[in-house]
A and B are shown apart, each in its own frame.
Chain A
Amino acid sequence: MELLEVKNLSKHYKSFDLKNISFALPKGYIMGYVGANGSGKTTTLNLITGMLKCTEGEVYIDGLSCGEDMRAYKEKIGYVGDESYFPEHYKIRHIRSVLKDFYPTFSTDRFNGFIRKWKLPEKKPVKDFSRGMKVMLMFASVLARDTKLLVLDEATNGLDPVMRTEVLKLLQEYVMDGEKSVIFSTHILSDLENIADYIYFIHGGRTVLYDAKDELIENFLLVKGESAKIPPALKRELIGVEENAYGFEAVLPSDKAELLGNAFLFEKPTIDQIVIHYIKSREEQ
């Protein structure tokens, strides 16, 4: 059963096109939406949340189309962005009362629980919060509601490792009952890589790769060696060859491994390494 379905989603701007984004995220799973800055990640997520009007293509959350009942649709979504969306002079009590009026499923008890757990200052206005506190306040406000989909746009940027670990646990707990899903965008996966079930990778508004993360990692090898030793047959298959004075590094589809012989070092890549070499190859074209 799909929780989030995106079909042929496109958006045209003067200087940028998002083109034919399609994927399905089943209930209880986590998707990492990755790409360089300006690749169209935020545009996609804003179309999903309804912050941008969906003019071409379709989005369904838990069976509801973004075109139908916007209020019911938005109720299903919890959004955390890279910047705080609370008025800067608000204190926690102001935010609590606004959320309570606005969202029928908002639980004051749950909200207060998170505020205590993460030791967020009740007496200070939001503008005096640290970056980490602002992010956790956004998480408290969305997790206090009954949502179906968490949409995180670069939400873990600038968090220290302890807080990132806390967020990872939160996301895994959120999908634990197998009924809710998470989509997060990031330009660097690092520790988020481990918990992602699916990876969608875009560049220049277009899909580059989309698969289960474990499949992606198995489908590629990270290859290193001496540039002078690359035979032409191998050269054609290497993706995003990055050369330095002493050797090269590139990514190779695993089914082309027989071209390597024993002149090169190869190992299991991380998703970030696959992304980096793909971006390099796209930019050379």
Chain B
Amino acid sequence: MKIIISNQSELPIYAQIREQLKEQILNGQIPEGETLPSIRQLAKELGVSVITTTRAYSELEAEGFIATMQGKGSVVLSRDNNLLREQYLLRIEEGLSTAIETAKTIGMSKGELTDIFHNLLET
């Protein structure tokens, strides 16, 4: 587990922690079933406030990346988990939306766009 906090970043510190953990869970660097350090432990290690790490963890929990159990700490959930699938779905939708927006700016027709899509799928 790696976390690098930047005070220059426009992203708030809790979001930097959340995003970096999320990335490492998604690419498997932090495996399923792994127990994360406690909120207070992480705050002390990073030299940030407890409220900051609490927020990072509770958002990861809300997004289905981790589960916090009383007395057991926060555990990384399986990537087969539905909520995680939603995360991927969201990323796919974002990517496609960008493509659609770009197509609109040059006035491309629906047919042309779906042709590109199908062609790309087959390559």
Contacts and interface: CB of A to CB of B under 8 A. Distances in A.
Interface SS of chain B? helix
Interface stretch (B6-14, B65-73, B84-92, B96-104): B6-14
Interface in A240-285: 267-268
Contacts of B43: 172, 195
Given A30-B49, A197-B49, A268-B12, A173 B44 contact: yes
A158 interface: no
Interface SS of chain A? mixed
Contacts of A30: 49-50
Contact of A197 (B41, B44, B50): B50
B50 A28 contact: yes
Contact of B55 (A172, A175, A198, A214): A214
A168 B47 CA distance: 8
Interface string A206-250: 000000111001100000000000000000000000000000000
Contact of A29 (B7, B14, B51): B51
Given A172-B43, A176-B40, A214-B55, A195 B12 contact: no
Given A214-B12, A214-B52, A268-B10, A178 B40 contact: yes
B3 interface: no
A3 interface: no
B48 interface: yes
B50 A214 contact: no
A214 B49 contact: yes
B51 A197 contact: yes
A55 interface: no
B88 to A, nearest CB: 28
Most B CB within 10 A of own CB, among A172, A196, A217: A172
A195 B10 contact: no
Contacts of A268: 10, 12
Contacts of A173: 44
B108 to A, nearest CB: 28
Nearest to A196: B49
A198 B88 CA distance: 35
A2 to B, nearest CB: 15
A218 B49 CA distance: 15
A176 B51 contact: no
Nearest to B10: A268
A279 B107 CA distance: 53
A217 B12 contact: yes
A283 to B, nearest CB: 28
A194 B45 CA distance: 12
Contacts of A212: 51
Nearest to A168: B47
Nearest to A29: B50
A169 B44 CA distance: 7
13 contacts: A28-B40, A169-B44, A173-B44, A176-B44, A178-B40, A194-B7, A194-B49, A195-B47, A212-B51, A213-B49, A214-B13, A267-B10, A268-B12
Given A195-B43, A268-B10, 19 more contacts: A28-B40, A28-B50, A30-B49, A30-B50, A169-B44, A173-B44, A175-B40, A175-B50, A176-B41, A178-B40, A195-B49, A196-B49, A197-B50, A198-B51, A213-B49, A214-B12, A214-B13, A214-B55, A268-B12
Interface of B: 7, 10, 12-14, 40-41, 43-44, 47-52, 55
Interface of A: 28-30, 168-169, 172-173, 175-176, 178, 194-198, 212-214, 217-218, 267-268
9 closest A-B pairs by beta carbon, nearest first, are: A172-B44, A197-B49, A197-B51, A212-B51, A194-B48, A176-B40, A194-B47, A197-B50, A195-B49
